Amino acid sequence: MANWCEGKLKVTGKQEDIKRFMMNGLEPVDYFGYTREPLKIDRVGCIQDLRCWIKGTDRGFLNNINVIFDGNDNQVVTYDFDAEFAYSASPEELLEIAREYNLGIEFHGIEECAQYQQDIVIADGKIVKNFGITLDEM
């Protein structure tokens, strides 16, 4: 059984790109990994779900999703998600997602059992920060 690196995943980009990422790059699943009904945007522009697998990751998930799009698709915004990755997030996997959807991505997480902290920043299609440290190294 995996230890989980949990934290915040920030996604920055035009609303249309974030919407495309959410509709095509996320797959709703239950806690056993079984696929559920696809995400939908409701009549007021809101997407809500409890847990989604981030496609393109080994085992990366967004939890407690609640996003409202205001209809201005060209506006650049940042959304903050609760995220968890088995063991640690892969900067290479997040880079591919950022490139595919034209997004900036930041992940800041802690894996408590191994006492590991991880920070990843992806901007302009490049990994600009990939930092991990254990409590022993502090």
Q: Any bridge partners for residue 122, and if so which?
A: 105, 127
Query: Is 138 a residue whose pLDDT tops 90?
Result: no
Largest CA distance in the chain: 50
- Alpha helix locations (H) across the chain? 15-25, 91-101
pTM: predicted TM-score of the whole model, two decimal places:
0.93
C-alpha–C-alpha distance, residues 5 and 138, integer Å? 18
Q: Which CATH architecture is the domain 4-137 placed in?
A: 2-Layer Sandwich (3.30)
- Checking if the pLDDT of 105 tops 80, the result is yes
Q: Residue 1: is its pLDDT beyond 80?
A: no
76-86 sheet: strands from edge to edge: 26-28, 46-54, 60-68, 76-86, 4-14, 104-111, 116-123, 126-134
Asked whether the beta carbons of 20 and 26 are under 8 A apart, the reply is no
Name which residue leads in pLDDT, 3 or 84: 84
Model pLDDT for residues 20-58, shown as the tens digit of each residue: 999 999 999 998 889 999 999 999 999 999 999 999 999
Domain extents for the chain?
4-137
Q: What is the pLDDT of residue 57?
A: 98
* Average pLDDT taken over every residue of the chain: 94
Q: What is the predicted pLDDT for the residue at 134?
A: 83
